[in-house]
Structure 1
Amino acid sequence: MTPTWRNDPFDDDKLREECGVFGIVGVQDAASFVALGLHALQHRGQEAGGIVAHDETHGWGSARRFGYVRDNFTSRSVLDTVPGPVAIGHVRYSTAGSKGATAIRDVQPFFGELAHGGTAIAHNGNITNADALRRELIERGSIFQSSSDSECIIHLMARSLQRSIPEKMKDALRRVEGAFSVVAMTRTKLIGVRDPLGVRPLVLGRVGDAHVVASETCALDIVGAEFLREVEPGEMVVATMDGTLTSHRPFEPQRRRSCIFEHVYFSRPDSILEGRSVYETREAIGRELAREAPAEADLVVPVPDSGTPAAIGFAAESGVPYGMGIIRNQYVGRTFIEPTEQIRNMGVRLKLNVNRALIAGKRVVLVDDSVVRGTTSRKIKEMVLDAGAKEVHFRIASPPTAWPCFYGVDTPDRDKLLAATMTADDMRDHLGVDSLKFISLDGLYRAVGEAKGRNEDAPQYCDACFSGAYPVAPSDQIARGFEVAAE
């Protein structure tokens, strides 16, 4: 039977980052630190989680579960199965792996006993040549235990002739295409690696003499770690039990292309990303949006929670009052009610409720981070009109999402993306709103600190979901017939 949390009847119609990773070396009860870090990264993956640790007395231990960190990794009965001073963890949605009841085999971290010692590995991102690598490895005798693209890394490491785990990992990752932030461990070391373009984030911190690597700075905050710096694109860091940290450069240097949507939606607003407060960046996006697409209105209302900072910025720049016109029910979980057809029809009303006293009789600007399929946007518009709004205007804090992401984001097929098949005016009519405006791609670049906007000849970020310009050719997708325009 498919786990109930995968049948979410309250579809929020958002792009979903696929994974969060966390690792620490040099502390007692490292798994407890990892559990806290994964809890802070829960927004990056709510389907399943796992922890692997090593202890000199007990050896390797692992725990993998479906569902939330708070439900699975807070009891001593679980954490006592993963003792030791070094541990890594992972929370996930799924892209390449299966989503059925047997998919516990796809829950990371993965472990392998290699020629020169055991290693565990957790991966955020997506390997765009995984199909080709898997075929090659199987033909050469590898036996895969999962359907996850991340397992390719373990098998590539096993075939490497290098004599240390970090060197084997360098060998393996040089064969990999796509986007990856990898956290790995041996019995005595913690390893963090970021792909040459730096598409997916990875940060480095310290607790006393212990080092931490994580997807975001908010995961450092929860364990009281000092934020040292980002792991640079194309960098490998190796931390040991005694607090030693070394940096390596296993790849040829390339121009940085980190994911711009991390600034818009994926990262938590209390994180620091590329030296900038995510919250302040999103507020700046709202201000830029107000300059580009003003609206004659009485009230600016965020679509909670992801639209809130942008709505605050929009209201401040436009002079239109800000109000919490939509209230989110924080206690609706994925297993609140069995998803019968009647409950499905209630849809978004179980998560969001309109503040009628604030909305009635007003021209309302709704600010959201994105429009993907448009299903939730239509429902929210209907709720606001039912509450007595005179007009509804949508302002979107990202450009139209017209292309799928192949770098670790759960994106619908292109024909399911509203912006891929409709003009902005068509989308406005489809949603049934008085106006619909998106921030321009140049405006988004300005808001994240690029004063001159997007460099058309050499884009500063990965913005493929908006532009269709893929910085790494998605080889497997191209082999299946997906057409990609050259940058």
Structure 2
Amino acid sequence: MSDAIKHECGIAMVRLLKPLDYYIKKYGTATYGLDKMYLMMEKQHNRGQDGAGIANIKFDVEPGQRYISRYRSNADQPIKEIFGKINNKFQEVYDKDPALMKDAEWLKKNVAFTGEVSLGHLRYGTFGGNSIEQCHPFLRQNNWMTKNLVVAGNFNLTNVDELFDILVSIGQHPKEKSDTVTVMEKIGHFLDVENQELFDKYKELGYNHIEISKKIATELDVQKMLVNSALEWDGGYAMAGMLGHGDAFVLRDPSGIRPAFYYQDDEVVVVASERPVIQTAFNVPIETVQEITPGHALIIKKDGDISMKQVRKPLEKTACSFERIYFSRGSDKDIYVERKQLGRNVCDQLLKSIDHDLKNSVFSFIPNTAEVSFYGMMKGLQDELNKIKLRKIKELGENPSDEQLQEILALRNRIEKIAIKDAKLRTFITQDNSRDDLVAHVYDITYGSVYPTDNLVVIDDSIVRGTTLKQSILRILDRLNPKKIVVVSSAPQIRYPDCYGIDMAKLNDFIAFQAAIELLKENGKTQLIQDVYNKCKAQENEPKEQIVNHVKEIYDAFTAEEISKKISQLLTPENINAEVDIVYQTIEGLHDACPNHTGDWYFTGNYPTPGGNKVVNKAFIYYYEGRNERAY
């Protein structure tokens, strides 16, 4: 994506099902679990580069010994910093006495991060800042082992205000109003309730406190705790947690918006946000990696019992399509196929834009993440070229010469490496004009690859704001002197804000929204803007379940092609010679390519939860009132 936007976080969990000594004997290392955690976090660094954290819990330690370890970092290379600190601990042991690295009992008593369960997190800070205090995992501490809670997640809730009020109503005093703190305290409250109910039960039966603690650790109902905690949550989430005595869980939202995958065998249970991460880290085939069922929690008890339990009633599955288009790793088998199909599915619009003139068209991609959709686009264009070849051969008659046939068979679509991203230039110059000039040189170009009679076609994953296109890419491409520049988006027009984890919260940031507003003004339909505002305002204080997305009316006045044409005009920089055309994927093309990921609210406004409609209307109110604020 040429527009830089922040997005989902990544989670990773490793639960060792055997004693530490087992891994030392079989794999020759006491850091087997940590090594796997490091690999899974590194393979998900695309999901979060603002910070990282890891927590580890040891089982069955004596009172007075530390059993929860946690490191977090917001450094430039947070994963490297965290595991560097952890590795230093083991290096010190090795330097002291190499034999101690084989002594599981000694390591567990004396070295941090030698526990049975670890939880890792990679953070993309959407709007809360990037201080280390905002890095997961979060820790809720208590002297009762079974009341300790560690939480990390990939999530965003739309109804934080409502949930905050619920916490206050049950007597809590949260330290801040954020979805992370709210989630932590809600789970923590019902964890306390579960502890108290079991304590009262066994106290009445005459058990002493030590005996009761053991009973709680064995009988604590994680499913019940999560059912009560998640009852009012509205949003997308993959929520992972560990309890101090050793129980662990990963909970997924009822619509399956945010991804979560797991693998288990007799040695480990592991969870990650992306499937190929698990395949790579544990060298296992794709069919052994499963999705956590929407609305369910994968619960791993301290005794090793593993179960999938319903927490919320599953809704229609609307897994995020943006995950497939851009954010997830393209090494996933299905995502690779889907991205190629996205490129193929945009060929009809592209061919129309270049008037089917493949001979005088050059094809490329920007940025590198669009490479797979580029392959798909070129396969689709090869099909078109084959039709042209077949027609030309038929036109030759019954006895064409070898030379005539060779000339036709030699026809190829012209593929070039047009743009190369240079090292990131520092924009330390404060004057806007100077900074813009630096931005315009982020990419270097391959001179001589395009002729003045050519169409230059580049494909991008998606176009959100279009800022980079206008300020940089189009100006750079124009230096090649093509007659026309066509920018192809493998995603449809992004029209509506996200509220489930991607940092796209303000309507006026979207070039599609800007285009629709301009069209309304040009066509004397500004009253519609006022009408939509009035409708949104009228519903502002209604329960989220009763709110309708009125922002759709802004777009309904025009076709997608009309909006694309206006986008092309708005993004064309001054003083460039080439004609500019922006071509977008259709909604039908998206659904055809990603049939199992129907979460398309960015493009259609069809939000899977009531909170989405509330957020989009609020975003329009803020736009109309000139308030540069987030709607959630």
With the shorter chain as reference, the TM-score category is: 0.7 to 0.9
Corresponding residue number in structure 2 for 1:346: 438
- Which residues of 2 match residues 328-407 of structure 1 at below 5 A? 328-329=421-422, 332=424, 337=426, 339-341=428-430, 342=434, 345-347=437-439, 349-350=441-442, 352-359=443-450, 361=452, 362-378=454-470, 379-407=472-500
Distance 1:83 1:148 in 2: 32
- Counterpart of 1:75 in 2: which secondary structure? helix
Which range is displaced more, 58-67 or 427-436?
427-436
Distance 2:416 2:282 in 1: 34
Check conservation: 2:464, 2:511, Cα contact below 8 A. yes
- Which residues of 2 match residues 246-257 of structure 1 at below 5 A? 246-257=307-318
- Displacement of 1:385 after TM fit? 1.0
Corresponding residue number in structure 2 for 1:409: 502
Corresponding residue number in structure 1 for 2:565: 425
Check conservation: 1:39, 1:69, Cα contact below 8 A. no
**In the alignment, structure 1 residue 176 sits paired with structure 2 residue 233:** yes
Distance 2:474 2:175 in 1: 46
Distance 2:510 2:15 in 1: 42
- Displacement of 1:240 after TM fit? 4.4
Check conservation: 1:402, 1:417, Cα contact below 8 A. yes
**In the alignment, structure 1 residue 289 sits paired with structure 2 residue 289:** no
Give the 3 Å change call, closer, same or farther, for CA 241–339 of structure 1 in structure 2. farther
Corresponding residue number in structure 2 for 1:109: 137
Corresponding residue number in structure 2 for 1:456: none
Which of 10, 35, 60 is the equivalent residue of 2:68?
60
Check conservation: 1:63, 1:82, Cα contact below 8 A. no
Give the 3 Å change call, closer, same or farther, for CA 412–153 of structure 1 in structure 2. closer
Corresponding residue number in structure 1 for 2:123: 92
Which of 148, 162, 170 is the equivalent residue of 2:194?
162
- Displacement of 1:401 after TM fit? 0.3
- Which residues of 2 match residues 30-41 of structure 1 at below 5 A? 30-41=33-44
Deviations along 1:13-46, whole A, 9 cap, x unmatched? Answer: 2443221111110075434432321211111111
- Counterpart of 2:229 in 1: which secondary structure? helix
Give the 3 Å change call, closer, same or farther, for CA 166–344 of structure 1 in structure 2. farther
- Counterpart of 1:181 in 2: which secondary structure? strand
Check conservation: 2:299, 2:308, Cα contact below 8 A. yes
- Counterpart of 1:73 in 2: which secondary structure? helix
Corresponding residue number in structure 1 for 2:253: 195
Distance 1:16 1:208 in 2: 37
| Letter in structure 2 aligned against 1:137 | L
Distance 2:613 2:376 in 1: 40
- Counterpart of 1:398 in 2: which secondary structure? coil
Check conservation: 1:132, 1:476, Cα contact below 8 A. no
Distance 1:220 1:307 in 2: 24
Check conservation: 2:72, 2:82, Cα contact below 8 A. no
**In the alignment, structure 1 residue 313 sits paired with structure 2 residue 376:** yes
**In the alignment, structure 1 residue 300 sits paired with structure 2 residue 363:** yes
- Counterpart of 1:179 in 2: which secondary structure? strand
| Letter in structure 2 aligned against 1:45 | G
Distance 1:151 1:243 in 2: 29
| Larger helix fraction of residues | 2
Distance 1:146 1:60 in 2: 24
Identity fraction in percent = 20
Distance 2:41 2:234 in 1: 26
Deviations along 1:288-338, whole A, 9 cap, x unmatched? Answer: 111343233522111122211111111121133333222234x64xxx747
- Which residues of 2 match residues 425-464 of structure 1 at below 5 A? 425-432=565-572, 433-449=579-595, 461-464=598-601
Give the 3 Å change call, closer, same or farther, for CA 339–26 of structure 1 in structure 2. farther
Distance 1:448 1:480 in 2: 27
Corresponding residue number in structure 2 for 1:7: none
Distance 1:355 1:118 in 2: 58
Distance 2:595 2:612 in 1: 32
- Unmatched runs of 5 consecutive residues or more in structure 2: 21-30, 90-111, 196-219, 383-412, 516-562, 573-578, 622-632
- Displacement of 1:242 after TM fit? 6.2
Deviations along 1:396-437, whole A, 9 cap, x unmatched? Answer: 101100110001110040011110121211111122253221
Corresponding residue number in structure 1 for 2:80: 71
Which range is displaced more, 281-290 or 116-125?
116-125
Give the 3 Å change call, closer, same or farther, for CA 344–41 of structure 1 in structure 2. farther
Which of 254, 264, 267 is the equivalent residue of 1:209?
267
Deviations along 1:40-97, whole A, 9 cap, x unmatched? Answer: 11111111111111124531111111143443233144674533221111111123x5
Which range is displaced more, 64-73 or 426-435?
64-73
Corresponding residue number in structure 2 for 1:4: none
- Displacement of 1:108 after TM fit? 0.8
Query: Which structure: larger Rg?
Result: 2
Distance 1:383 1:208 in 2: 55
Output the TM-score relative to the length of structure 2: 0.67
Which range is displaced more, 288-297 or 128-137?
288-297
Corresponding residue number in structure 1 for 2:387: none
Check conservation: 2:344, 2:380, Cα contact below 8 A. yes
Which of 213, 220, 236 is the equivalent residue of 2:297?
236
Distance 1:177 1:143 in 2: 21
Check conservation: 2:508, 2:514, Cα contact below 8 A. yes
Check conservation: 1:37, 1:223, Cα contact below 8 A. yes
- Unmatched runs of 5 consecutive residues or more in structure 1: 1-10, 451-459
* Equivalent residue pairs, number: 453
Corresponding residue number in structure 1 for 2:51: 48
Check conservation: 2:489, 2:583, Cα contact below 8 A. yes
Deviations along 1:422-477, whole A, 9 cap, x unmatched? Answer: 12111111222532211110111011247xxxxxxxxx722111011111122795
Deviations along 1:243-298, whole A, 9 cap, x unmatched? Answer: 542110121232111111111111110124xxxx2111101110111134323352
| Letter in structure 2 aligned against 1:354 | I
Give the 3 Å change call, closer, same or farther, for CA 120–388 of structure 1 in structure 2. same
- Counterpart of 2:263 in 1: which secondary structure? strand
- Displacement of 1:208 after TM fit? 5.3
Which range is displaced more, 468-477 or 36-45?
468-477
